[in-house]
Every structure is written in structure tokens, then in C-alpha cells.
Amino acid sequence: MLPRLHSFIDGRFVPPSGGRYSDKYDPRTATKMQEVARSAPEDLDLAVSAASNALPAWRNLRPSERGRILVDVARAVRANGGALGEIESLETGKPGQEMPVLIDLLAQFFEYYGGIASIDEGEIVNVGPGYHAYTRRDPFGVIGVILPWNAPLHQAARAIAPALAAGNTLVAKPSEHTSGSLVELARLAVEAGLPQGVFNVIVGQGSVIGPAMVKNPAVMKISFTGSLRAGREIGQIAAERVLPLTLELGGKSANIVFADADLDAAAPGSVRAFTWNSGQWCCAGTRCLVQRSVHDAFVEKLVASVKALKIGPEHDAVAGPITTKAQYEKIQTYFDIARQSGLTPAIGGHLPTDPRLQKGWFIEPTVYAGVTNDTLIAQEEIFGPVLCVIPFDDEAEAIRIANDSEYGLGAGIWSRDIGRVHRVAAQLDAGRIVVNEYNGGFVQTPCGGFKNSGYGREQGRDALAHYSQTKSVIVKL
């Protein structure tokens, strides 16, 4: 029998009350690897009750004490990083060599928010004589955290660590395709000293557990990371309850290469921007805007960089398979769409021919050059390793094209002109801009969307503010 994955509620494993499971497949080989609980709404109620019961004690701990426990969780993550990374690599198909960096980042989230848990101070507000007025920040209560499958531990930590630091308890719902690593993280956290019931994981289908979580009256805020489609559905339910949301949605990020950039650094950087995690990355730089005078030469460099990538199931590959079959099939439809738009790939545009890559859900990294921004493949989020190279003439046109998207998540600028870098950064509709690199980003720097990429911010001190609410206290003297 295949191993079974269960929810982790109130410090123990809980099988689904209806006894139902779904099959989880290994993306490297397309074979069944696990049975994953299909929890029922009653199981969610159990998890929300556990989080509600744990709330008074957790929110009333001294912030420094909550912080110390989070740092203990970070220590447990570092001590067990090998096993944790192996689960995530197996579930997602991510190359093993990527995992130490991701585990380090995971630990950093708990270290950072553990460290700043106690700096969340209110302020004295001078309203004149006769009064003493001040603000304090209170937690919301029970937070529902709904997560995608592309970077399960990373996405989870950037919501969970600040939510806990701010004094909330939570129920997290990982994607049904990649639930194991989060269940293990919750188990480790309790083992490291996090009180039972503070961090619960409910394993189940998005269409069942997601809406039930948003409707649950004891859930006081939702942090959602995922597609625009599901974000909109959640928003509609949340509006009925006036429930606060953090929405981290999709992207179609522009990576702008000016002719004055170091093109030898920009080419591999731009390839990494759309092939990291096989393009399954919300901030992926999938629209590469290149100044027309260097467009053709730059495309040649991009193609050479793509050719140098190692794709495969191996530990040392730089790109693995697509995590879900549905996503693997969706990406392929864009090859047809591009063909119908009259585009010929400069490289890729088909499934791999290498027999090593034919068992699993591998996609050949693909570059379309000379694309116009109104083409469907330049407008829709593909969420796979597919790049549109779009030429532009000058700074103003680059900004116009970059902002001509329903999304506004990430952006990149490659230029040696420091004035231009800041001018362009100020004009771009994007929540995260990286200059002369693309994949950078830190636990300390806020991340989130403009426009349809969502609202609210994860990471940095901003996130701590998003998981707490300001209260004014006005005392008549």
C-alpha cells in the first residue's frame, strides 16, 4: 500500500473523517507515490477549534517569548533540513541541489520574525493636554493560510512566521499536490516547542476546504497565495463577511534589458528568471523586454544560455519537471497558441526529445523572439519555462510595455545607467523590482502585487503589520 498523508491538527495526525484519499504522483516519473487525505469540512472545523483554543495563551505570551519559540523552530528546520528538503524535492520535482538554499531561507523566515516579534511597538500620540493617547497592535485571531504547489515551504513560511510572531494562531491548507513538507514542518514546530494547536495543517481539496475555510466564522483573516481565479472566488466569499485578505496572485513580469547593460550577465540572468523552478514561479520574468538595437544579438545569447542548462530528474539539474500533470498539459497548449499567432520558437516549443526526460512531466525551456506585447502568450500567465522576447525603442516605450499587463508582481531592470535605473523603477507597476540580477530577494524585503497580482505584502516588516491590526487607546486624564 502507498504511504498515506494526513492532516496535522492540535499536535497529532488526523485521518480524514470520510476516509477518502486522492493519489499523488511523482512528477519525475508520472507514477503514483502517495495517498493524500481528502479532508472533510468537519475536519477543518476541528482544526479551527484547535487554533481557537490555543489562541488566548499564544497571543498573551510576551512577544519575546513567542520570538524565542520561533527561533527554536528555525533551529529545528536547520537540524532537519535534509529530510524536509527531500520531501519537498520529491513532491514538487525540484532538483535536490536547490533544497539547501530553500531550507536556509525557510529557517531565515522564522529567525527574522522571531527576532522582530518584540519590536512591534505602538506609539504615543500627542493629542494635546487632558488626554493620553496611544496605539497598540493586536493579532486578528485565527488566520487561514491557503497555499500553492510551486514553492510550498517558502510560500508557507512567509505567511506563517509573521502571523505567529504577531500573536495569531493558524490553520494552513497546502496545495493537495504538495502537502507533505508543510505537515512535516508543523510536526517539527511542535516538537521544537510551539504549543499544540497554534499551527495546524489541513490536507485536502481546494474546492472543498478552501471555501469552507473562508466561510468559517472563527477564521478572522485569510492569507491566500495562488491563482487569480481562486483569489477572485475567495474575495467574493470574503466580501460577505468583510473578512480581511492578503492576496498573492499571479504574474507576467517584465524583465527589461537596456542596450547599455552588461549583456553577458543579463543573458544568463534572464534565462534563470524564466527557467528557475521550471518557470513555476509567480515572479518569473517571462516577458523579456530588450532594446531593439541589441535584440537579435541578445536572443542569440539567450539561446546559448538555454542550451547550457541541465534539465532532468538528477540532483544536480538546474530545472526539474512540472509539478502537476494539469500544469504540464496547460503549458503545452501555449505552444499551439504561439504557433497560431505565427510565432516560431528560437529554441524549444515542444516536449523534450531526450529519452531521459520522457517519463516525467518535463518541458523544454522555450524562447519566442520578436513578440509583440498584445499576443496572448505575452499577456497570460503560463507558469512554465516559456519566454517572450519583446523589442522596444526607448525608456518610455519599455515602461509602457512593462505596465501593459493586468498583472504587476515582479520586474527586472538591466542597465549601467544609475539614473535610468531609479527613473524606471519609480514608473513600473510592480511590487518587487530587482536591478542587474533577477532572482534576488530577501526575507527582509516586502513582496506582493500591484493590480491583479493581489494586495497586502509578505516578507519584511510590512508582513508583520499585515498580520496585526492597529488599536487606538484614548485616556481622558
Point out which residues bind ligand NAD (CB under 6 A): 146-150, 155, 173, 175-176, 206-207, 210-211, 225-227, 230, 233-234, 248-251, 282, 381, 383, 409, 449, 453-454
The full DSSP string for 141-193 is SEEEEE--SSSHHHHHHHHHHHHHHTT-EEEEE--TTS-HHHHHHHHHHHHTT
β-partners of residue 256 are: 289, 413
Least distance in Å: CB of 155 to ligand NAD? 5
C-alpha cell at 197: 494547536
The 3 state secondary structure assigned to 303-325 is HHHHHCCCECCCCCCCECCCCCH
User: CA dist 206 to 175, 211, 214, 394, 415, Å?
Assistant: 7, 8, 11, 44, 42
The set of cell numbers assigned to 138 is 493586536
Nearer to ligand NAD, 174 or 360 (CB): 174
Report, in Å, the least distance between residue 293 CB and ligand NAD: 32
Of 445, 456, 477, which is closest to residue 112 (Cα–Cα)?
445
Nearest approach, Cβ of 228 to ligand NAD (angstroms)? 6
Instruction: Count CB-CB contacts under 10 A for residue 396.
Output: 11
Strand order in the sheet with 468-476: 124-125, 131-139, 468-476
Query: Which residue matches cell numbers 509573521?
Result: 162
For residue 283, give the amino acid letter: C
Exposure of 276 in the CB half-sphere (CA atoms within 13 A)? 18
Concerning whether 248 is annotated as a catalytic residue, the answer is yes
What is the number of other CB atoms lying within 10 angstroms of the CB of residue 39? 29
Judge contact between 69 and 233, C-beta under 8 A.
no
Q: Are 367 and 348 in contact (CB under 8 A)?
A: yes
Closer by beta carbon to ligand NAD, 167 or else 431: 431
Q: Which residue lies nearer to ligand NAD by CB, 41 or 210? A: 210
Q: Shortest approach of ligand NAD to residue 455 CB, angstroms? A: 11
Neighbouring residues of 75: CB distance < 8 A, sequence distance ≥ 6: 107, 192
Shortest approach of ligand NAD to residue 122 CB, angstroms?
A: 29
Residue with smaller CB distance to ligand NAD, 147 or 188 = 147
Contacts of 56 (CB under 8 A, 6+ apart): none
CB of 469 to ligand NAD, least distance (A): 22
* Comparison of 146 and 387: residue with beta carbon closer to ligand NAD: 146
Report in angstroms how near the CB of residue 468 gets to ligand NAD at its nearest: 20
Q: Which is nearer to ligand NAD, 38 or 295 (CB)?
A: 38
Residue 286 backbone dihedrals phi, psi, to 5 degrees: -95, -5
Query: Which is catalytic among the residues 98, 248, 364, 381?
Result: 248
Residue 412 belongs to what H/E stretch?
strand 410-414
Residue tagged active-site, from 282, 288, 388, 447: 282
> Helix count (H) and strand count (E) of the chain?
15, 23
The yes-or-no answer on residue 388 being catalytic is no
Least distance from ligand NAD to the Cβ atom of residue 284, Å: 8
Question: Would the CA dihedral through 375, 380, 384, 387 be positive or negative?
Answer: positive
In terms of CB distance, is 24 or 66 closer to ligand NAD? 24
Q: Which of 258, 276 has the CB closer to ligand NAD? A: 276
**Cβ closer to ligand NAD: 39 or 291?**
39
320, 312 in Cβ contact below 8 A?
Answer: yes
Computed on alpha carbons and rounded to an integer, the radius of gyration of the chain in Å comes to: 23
Shortest distance, position 314 Cβ to ligand NAD, whole Å? 25
Catalytic residue positions? 248, 282
